[in-house]
Amino acid sequence: MKIQSSTPSFNLYSNALKYNINVRESRYKLVGYSALGIFIFLVILVSFTFYYILAQTVAVVSIIFLSLLLTVSNDKPFTNSLILTNTGNIHFNNEQVSYQLLSDSRLSFIGCWLVMIKDVPLLSPRINVSETIPKLVFIFRDSINKQDYSRIARVIKQLE
């Protein structure tokens, strides 16, 4: 005798897999801005004075400090979250609109450039010029975990 389940069965399968990607503040951004500031300080120091030994000391100490800053684990809380599908649709949790990734999106060893436009329904009566301008978002590689970065990379590769 077959017993029927009391809970109705639903089709939970969707055409597009959805990935929840959590983004946190990047250390690379802090190190980049710090290195730029130190470089400008050193150029000014050497240009207006002749304290080359002081400039070399500042440069060596700065390199050691910035490298130590990069070795510290990134335990900052999540600052943003997005939902990515394998077809390239992106929905940010703090925005009501969704976006479609374009094939112009790129990957690098530092992070990934996401080039996207607003996802407008085909039957929309009017399309604003602002909806056709691509939105650019750069996500540093250390802002997300390795699994989420590989998911973004897989989606960008599929779009090409």
Give the integer Cα–Cα distance in Å for 153 and 145. Answer: 12
**pLDDT at res. 13:** 47
Q: Please compute the mean of the pLDDT values over residues 107-136 and round it to a whole number.
A: 77
User: What backbone torsions phi and psi does residue 6 show, to the nearest 5 degrees?
Assistant: -80, -15
Q: Give the confidence band of 48 by pLDDT, cuts at 50, 70, 90.
A: confident
Give the integer Cα–Cα distance in Å for 69 and 151. Answer: 27
**Residue 31 near residue 150 (C-beta atoms within 8 A):** no
Tell me what the pLDDT averaged over the chain comes to. Answer: 79
**pLDDT at res. 123:** 56
pTM of the model: 0.67
Spell out the domain ranges in the chain.
24-71, 78-159
Q: Please compute the mean of the pLDDT values over residues 85-93 and round it to a whole number.
A: 85
CA atoms within 13 A on the CB side of 140: 12
